[in-house]
Homo-oligomer: A and B are copies of this chain.
């Protein structure tokens, strides 16, 4: 699925400055802080700039702040109870809205278009996504048509849109830094 557009990807590597934000829907109905924490940290680690949450306990923004302080970067958690407003403002600034749903079009069939977009809002639903979201999204994208995990779907979509380049990202100034190693753990304190 990725081989056909390899030259195109090479081009993007130097030409496209991409900006990705994530919106998580549905927290009001299902309180699930562990999943939310995973979604925040995956968004951060895989190159998104910010995540919008509708309503959370205080400790999630604090957890993310601590991760930034220890491991670098300036990923942001934004609390905004109105997903409608977040989507409206994203569209107003030319951001394409990519809603992840097992009912959507297979990721591999829209990858070329998605990689060409510079500004994206990736919408991750909970179990109660309003029908309007499907219609307001520019893309409804499926990572398989099987039930699994919004955390996994988000990870694969962020990874594919950025052609794996996000894995090499430098998080800048940090207190701790891992030195990759074959066996065991090596951590440097800066």
Q: Hey, which bits of chain A sit against chain B, CB under 8 A?
A: 1-3, 6-7, 9-10, 32, 34-35, 38, 41-42, 44-46, 67, 71, 101-109, 131, 134-135, 137, 140, 142-149, 151-156, 159-160, 163-169, 171, 177-178, 180-187
Contact = CB atoms under 8 A, between A and B. Distances in A.
A1 B6 CA distance: 10
19 contacts: A32-B34, A41-B146, A41-B148, A45-B144, A45-B146, A46-B144, A101-B185, A102-B178, A103-B181, A104-B182, A108-B164, A108-B167, A134-B183, A135-B183, A137-B183, A144-B167, A145-B178, A151-B152, A155-B156
- The copy count of this chain in the complex is 2
A24 to B, nearest CB: 14
Contact of A147 (B71, B102, B140): B71
Question: Among A134, A143, A149, which residue has the most Cβ atoms of chain B within 10 A?
Answer: A149
Nearest to A185: B103
Contacts of A3: 2-3, 6-7, 9-10
Nearest to A110: B182
A158 to B, nearest CB: 9
